Structure 1
Amino acid sequence: MQSLASPGELTVATVLADVAIVLVVGYVFGRWLRRLGQPVVIGEILAGIALGPSLLGLLPGNPTAVIFPAEARPYLSAISQVGLLLFMFLVGWEFDRRVLARRKTMTVSVSLCSIALSFALGVGLAALIYDDHAVVAGKKVPFVAFALFLGAAMSITAFPVLARILKDRRLVNTEVGSLALASAAIDDVLAWCILALVAAIATARDGVDLVQIAALSAAYIAVMIAVVRPLLAAFVRRVALLNRPAFLVVFIAAGVFLSSYATTWVGIHAIFGAFIFGLIMPREPVEQLGRQIREPFEHIGMVLLPVFFIVTGLSVDIASLTFANYLELGAIILVAVAGKTIGAATPALALGLPAREARTLGILMNTRGLTELIVLNVGVSLGVLDSQMFTMMVIMALVTTAMAGPLLPKPTWPSSTDDTGPAPAGRERELAHAAGKPA
């Protein structure tokens, strides 16, 4: 029976039905993986891949194209961007320099060594596989952009997923847990800086454009720090103490989206605007802002982020990989694991961390999860990654994140699937709690 709705109305209705499917399938997969001792984000990513051409699309009639038709996908992508930008705001907001206070020398050494080795190996791998992935959508990708992007992608540690793993394993208040959190925070900030450079290079048509993007980016950052930050601090503290959460949520969300618009206009990706707005967002008063900002944004993320996973999954096509691609995939995973585990464990051992804890640190720093997916989607939007490279990198993100569960030491007391039991305290508890919900 043919629908009597207009094509536009039918497309909107299809998008709504797709969101419903995303929420249910993502929840089922997430809880299933949670019971297997994996982060919920692994299940949600797998749900996206299962609904895409890698599994559902292989069935007769291509159900993926029926359920997620081409005309509905731009709407789904827009919805996913809302959840993604609010999540990136939270990532920036949760970055706390106080986590760097303890054992600064070891923290900085672990972070710099892990990111340097990962980046160097990523650039080296890029040199080997560039010729096979140099053309994306008919346009040749500059080697510099491809190499820098691969180096940045290898350097990522998923700070939110890491915080959740530390909570589940009762490692948040341990020395290795604190060291991993602090090192991951530095890693991700440096990796975002590299990624911003990649975005500028990929967007610029020539040297003049690159200089313009750099100048506008510097001006944007200066305005955010010198003008927006003090005004935002005074305004937010006053409104938070007046207990007007609805107004505060609307104001902060508007600020996130406007900042994202600004970075897009400048020539770098929207996620950087959301992330930087989070960095300049005041942290005090902690209790009021946690209740009035963090919790509402986390709840929005729980609904909208699964849409991001599905949109990502629709671009993952495992069936398209060739034998040569699987060899490349093996090299990608090897480089990713070696760069992070060796790069983190070696300086920790040299500075006196026991061998068992250094090994645990290396495993923790190797988790990539949702943060890697964000990076990879940026690569696709910039035209740096082709579909096969994107698929291989998504698989790498899944494998490196899933490795942590079996390899980490068991918690000293039983962990339950509903997160009951003793919980981390203080600021670290907030980090783990905030990271656990959206990711």
Structure 2
Amino acid sequence: MDSVHSDLKVAIVVADIAIVLIVGSLLVMLLRRLKQPPVIGEITAGIVLGPSILGLLPGDVTGFLFPVELRPHLSMISQVGLLLFMFLVGWEFNSQLLKSRSGAIASVSLWAFVLPFALGLGTAALLYERHDVVDGEHVSFWYFAAFLGIAMSITAFPVLARILHDTRLAGTRIGALALASAALEDVMAWILLAVMVVGFTASGGTTTLLTVLGLFLLYALVMALGVRPALRWLVARLTQGGKASPFLVPLIAAGAFLSAYATSWIGVHAIFGAFAFGLVMPREPRALLAETLHTPLESGTRLLLPIFFIVTGLSVDISALGWTGLGELAIIMAAACAGKLLGATLPAKFSGMSWRDSYAVGLLMNTRGLTELVILNIGVSLGVLDGEMFTMMVLMALITTAMAVPLLPKGLPRAPGGLFDIPSVTVPSGASARRTPAPGGATDAATSGQEVPSGKS
């Protein structure tokens, strides 16, 4: 009997995955006609299948399709896709982006981080009283405020890169400045988030906090001085003779998962481990790794990452917001948009761009998408954000991402080709494909002529 019951559970989870993939694909195709990136369709699919829309039908359709007792299984599967995605984010990070137009990039990234973060703190001060208790536990104002600040300041680098490619802004000054600034800005946000997570989880006092920080610094040194050269040796051995070993994909994926386990054991979220493993992953031989390693892992994220969106969507209940919640959502939207538009537009203008082009940079930097959802889910898992705040922040991420392309000013310069004239390769944006620059830059393009994995944040 137990065996039959267990088999039925597996069958329901598998059927749930099928539903997610079908609904997600349909909405991606539909919203693509509105020039929206795939991540918008996938996030919308999660909301549609959750209590916000499907749950309004009689008979608790959402509960029938996605039984509460089986949702942890979906969540675990989604984490596999998320960790693979974060590995690709780290592997594709392109330091070349930070070396061009350094003055303008530093100015735009700094202010596009600081101003939204400050407005996030102000928003937290206004909303804290209604959201200071999560699951019966009191939440510190500073942790609550810091999470809102980080969530306001983030830019979804993968989604932004896809938007730039689709709008043919990738090879322009606007696209180059926006993408490079987003890369640097997101590095600052991830570092701050890591420090905050360490502080939040180290509840045992100063001694525990120092222990976690010390272990994390030791982990970083091991990754830089030990794992990086070991990976170079391993990849060289597994790609000898211009042919990749069939063990390449499973061994690298296993390394990313073990790195995620290490940071989780230390007390830092697992996604940082997967991201760090991607940072130290070799980029050579480029063409071979792009074909034999990057493509299979990208395909894995395309299948598994949509499950992350439905798990997120099942926690989003728009119908429960009420008029007070809608008023708070308006405050959040105003702070999020003002922070990015002013924080990126004004520095871009001072760097010598026109008002039209500067506004385009600010609008592009206002996209949040998948990266925002990752941060918000961390906030929920740590007990910092309640369900209502989570719903409002997810809606903010969805709206700010969806508004980018329709509101771009007309007459912007368009250009074919990659960013900074660097060759590009199709890589994932959420569960979708995009084009971004290769790490080697234009010089490498001239010598290799290959399309390779590249940078995002």
Q: TM-score under structure 1 normalisation? A: 0.94
Deviation digits for residues 302-344 of structure 1, max 9, x if unmatched?
1111111000000001111022111111111111111111101
What pairs up with 1:300-311 in 2 under 5 angstroms? Answer: 300-311=300-311
Aligned residues: 430
Contact 1:121 1:339 in 2 (8 A): yes
Report the counterpart of residue 232 of structure 1 in structure 2.
231
The question of 1:430 aligning with 2:424 is answered: yes
Is 199-208 or 186-195 further displaced after alignment?
A: 199-208
- 2: CA distance between counterparts of 1:127 and 1:271? 29
In structure 2, give the amino acid aligned to 1:204.
Answer: A
Deviations 1:212-234, CA, capped at 9 Å, x for gaps: 21111111111111111111122
- 1:125 corresponds to: 123
Secondary structure in 2 matching 1:434:
strand
Q: Is the 8 A contact 2:39 2:429 kept in 1?
A: no
In the alignment, the residues of structure 1 paired with residue 223 and residue 18 of structure 2 have an alpha-carbon distance, to the nearest angstrom, of: 38
Superposed displacement of residue 425, structure 1: 7.3
Write the distance in 2 (CA, Å) between the matches of 1:215 and 1:156. 27
Q: Could you tell me which residue of structure 2 aligns to residue 400 of structure 1?
A: 400
Check the 8 A contact 1:202/1:384 in 2, yes or no.
no
1:222 aligns with 2:221: yes
Q: How does 1:118-157 map to 2 (within 5 A)?
A: 118-157=116-155
- 199 and 413 in structure 1: CA distance in 2 versus 1, 3 angstrom threshold: closer
Q: Which amino acid aligns with 2:398?
A: L
- Offset of 1:198 from its aligned partner? 2.0
The superposition leaves residues 357-378 of structure 1 with CA deviations (integer Å, 9 ceiling, x where unpaired) of 1111001100001111111111
CA distance in 2, matches of 1:368, 1:328: 19
Mapped contact 2:113–2:343 kept (Cα < 8 A): yes
**CA gap 1:426/1:248 in 2 versus in 1, 3 angstroms:** farther
Aligned partner letter, 2:130: D
Pair 1:50–1:267, CA change in 2 (3 A) = same
CA drift of 1:294 comes to 1.2
2: CA distance between counterparts of 1:133 and 1:273?
Answer: 30
CA contact (8 A) 2:356 2:409 kept: no
> 1-side partners of 2:349 and 2:417: how far apart?
29
Find the aligned partners of 2:90 and 2:411 in 1 and give their Cα distance: 29
1:159–1:241 Cα change, 3 Å = farther
Distance of 2:411 and 2:287 partners within structure 1: 29
Q: Deviations over 1:144-191 (max 9, x none)?
A: 211111111111100000000000000111111111111111111111
Q: Distance in 2 between matches of 1:238 and 1:341?
A: 48
Q: Which residue of 2 aligns with 1:202?
A: 200
Distance change in 2, residues 1:408/1:129 (3 Å): same
What's the RMSD between the two structures over aligned residues? 2.0
- Write out per-residue CA displacement over residues 256-298 of structure 1, whole angstroms, 9 at most, x where no aligned residue: 1000001111111111101111111111221111112211111
Decide whether aligned partners of structure 1 residues 413 and 179 sit closer, same or farther in structure 2, where only a CA change above 3 A counts: closer
Structure 2: unaligned runs, 5 residues or longer: 433-457
Give 1:437 deviation, angstroms.
Answer: 6.9
Q: Which residue of 2 aligns with 1:312?
A: 312
User: Could you give the per-residue CA deviations for residues 190-218 of structure 1, whole angstroms, max 9, x where no partner exists?
Assistant: 11111112211221212322222111111
**Conserved? CA contact 2:159–2:430, under 8 Å:** no
Alignment partners' CA distance in 2, 1:258 and 1:266: 12
1:122–1:24 Cα change, 3 Å: same
CA–CA distance in structure 1, aligned partners of residues 124 and 321 of structure 2: 18
Contact 2:157 2:183 in 1 (8 A): yes
Shift of 1:244: 2.3
> What amino acid sits opposite 1:430 in the alignment?
S
Kindly tell me: are residues 213 and 178 of structure 1, through their superposed partners in 2, closer, same or farther at Cα, counting changes over 3 Å? same
DSSP 3-state at the match of 1:268: coil
Equivalences for residues 233-252 of structure 1 within 5 A: 233-242=232-241, 243-252=243-252
Residue 85 of structure 1 is matched in structure 2 by: 83
- Residue 138 of structure 1 deviates from its aligned partner by 0.9
The residue identity in structure 1 corresponding to 2:287 is E
**Paired AA for residue 76 in structure 2:** A
d(CA) in 1 for partners of 2:228, 2:320 = 47
Amino acid at match of 1:222: L
Give the C-alpha shift of residue 423 in structure 1: 5.2
Once the 2 structures are TM-superposed, how far is the Cα of residue 412 of structure 1 from its aligned partner? Answer: 7.8
1:29–1:43 contact (8 Å) kept in structure 2: yes
C-alpha separation between the residues in 1 aligned to 2:126 and 2:356?
34
- In structure 1, what residue type is equivalent to 2:199? I
SS of equivalent to 1:6: helix
CA contact (8 A) 1:91 1:275 kept: yes
* Alpha carbons 1:12, 1:72 under 8 Å: kept: no
Which 4+ runs in 1 deviate beyond 6 A? 411-414
- Retained in 1: the 8 A contact 2:13–2:70? yes
For residue 214 of structure 2, what is the amino acid of its counterpart? A
**Preserved CA contact (<8 Å) 1:30 1:42:** yes
Cα distance in 1 for residues equivalent to 2:10 and 2:410: 47
Task: Supply the distance in 1 between the matched residues of 2:336 and 2:430 (Cα, whole angstroms).
Answer: 26
Residues 29 and 46 in structure 1, CA contact (< 8 A), matched pair in contact too: yes
Identity level (%): 55
- Describe the shift of the 1:349–1:139 C-alpha distance in structure 2 as closer, same or farther (beyond 3 A): same
2:354 is matched by which residue type in structure 1?
A: P
- Residue in structure 2 matched with residue 257 of structure 1 by the alignment: 257
Q: Which structure 2 residues correspond to residues 314-329 of structure 1 after superposition, within 5 A?
A: 314-329=314-329
Gaps of 5+ in 1: 415-420
Distance 1:428-1:321 versus aligned 2 partners, 3 A rule: farther
- Which residue number corresponds to residue 332 of structure 1? 332
Tell me the CA shift for residue 246 of structure 1: 2.8
Deviates more, 1:395-404 or 1:319-328: 319-328
The 3 A distance-change label for structure 1 pair 209 and 11 is: same
- Cα distance in structure 2, aligned partners of 1:428 and 1:74: 42
Q: Contact 1:92–1:275 (CA<8 Å) still a contact in 2?
A: yes
Asked whether the 8 Å contact 1:372–1:397 carries over to 2, the reply is yes
Which of the numbers 167, 184, 187 marks the counterpart of 2:185?
A: 187
How far does residue 92 in structure 1 lie from its aligned partner after superposition?
0.9
Match of 1:418 in 2: none
- Of residues 52, 55, 76, the one that matches 2:53 is 55
**1:275 aligns to 2:269 (yes or no):** no
